[in-house]
Structure 1
């Protein structure tokens, strides 16, 4: 009996209910209506709080991010277009510079060719002049030498005949012999 009194005292200290009557509080039927009312009040308060404060902020943040992303995409497209324009302008300037460089090189080549052609012609003219002078000098020397050949031949023939025969031939007979050899 002492033990039953201790058990009864322990259950009374905890709310006065018996251990067999103790149920989980949310499932207690006596408090069920109050719990439903508080659930409805809490749900309405949380729903109102979320719909009026949290969701507008979240949708504002989402819209701001969407606008920022769209703005960044537009800026990126504009930068890409500018980069492409700059690239095409660079290519155009490079092509023009190449064209000018080729034209300048062609002009310089033509100028140098004209200068070298003029120098070559001047050298050729100088060489032709010297060649003509040399040919004229050679012709005069040849003419002079040829005019002396007959005299040298006559002297040589006279000397040979005199050495062989011991007597000098007559100058008319040497001239006649020279005339016969030239004919």
Structure 2
């Protein structure tokens, strides 16, 4: 049975034990009182103050506080802080390396872009030169083809004119004979047979008159 201090104060103070028979060596000393819990009444149960707030314990509490704080400080100084510092330094070095790598890659990218732009400009210039050369070659070929065609046409035209002149001269050469035959046919139809010399004379006179 658990007895609180309040219950102990309200309980009967003590009960006298009956007198032990004579010859009993285990009898309690005279005047000793027992409570229901079997604890001597004269024992000190304390004042009921919570031990951490008891002024009599402040010295030991301060001592253990100093010892604990010192151990915690040594732990922080020797173990935790060096590890945190190493981690932070490692991360700082890693970040610096990443920044250097990023800067290097950016420089390489800028160089590659500049080289690409130069090559693109050179390719455009070369393409323009090739196009201009092809354009000039096409113009030259077209001019040469045109000149050849014009020369061929001129030659054909000259040949045609020569042919026409020959045909015309031949036709003019045969005009007299055709006129004589025509006149002979007409005269024969009109007045009968006529003399050939007279018809030739008349045709020649008509031709001379037209000339």
TM class by smaller structure? 0.7 to 0.9
- 1:105 is aligned to 131
Instruction: Report 1:11-90 matches (<5 A).
Output: 18=45, 21-90=47-116
Instruction: For structure 1, list consecutive stretches of 5 or more residues without a partner in the other structure.
Output: none
CA positional deviation for 1:94: 1.2
- Inter-partner Cα distance in structure 2 for 1:27 and 1:130: 137
Instruction: For structure 2, list consecutive stretches of 5 or more residues without a partner in the other structure.
Output: 1-6, 13-33
Q: What is the number of equivalent residue pairs in this alignment?
A: 177
Q: Judge conservation of contact 2:176–2:203 (CA < 8 Å) in 1.
A: no
Q: Which of 1 and 2 has greater Rg?
A: 2
Counterpart of 1:9 in 2: which secondary structure?
coil
Using CA pairs below 8 Å that are at least 6 residues apart, which structure has the higher relative contact order? 2
Please, what TM-score do these two structures have when normalized by structure 2?
0.72
What is the RMSD of the two structures over their aligned residues, measured on CA atoms? 2.7
Task: Select which of 154, 158, 164 maps to 2:190.
Answer: 164
Runs of 4+ in 1 over 6 A off after TM superposition: 5-8
- 1:4 is aligned to 11
- Give the helix-richer structure, 1 or 2: 1
- Inter-partner Cα distance in structure 1 for 2:108 and 2:180: 105
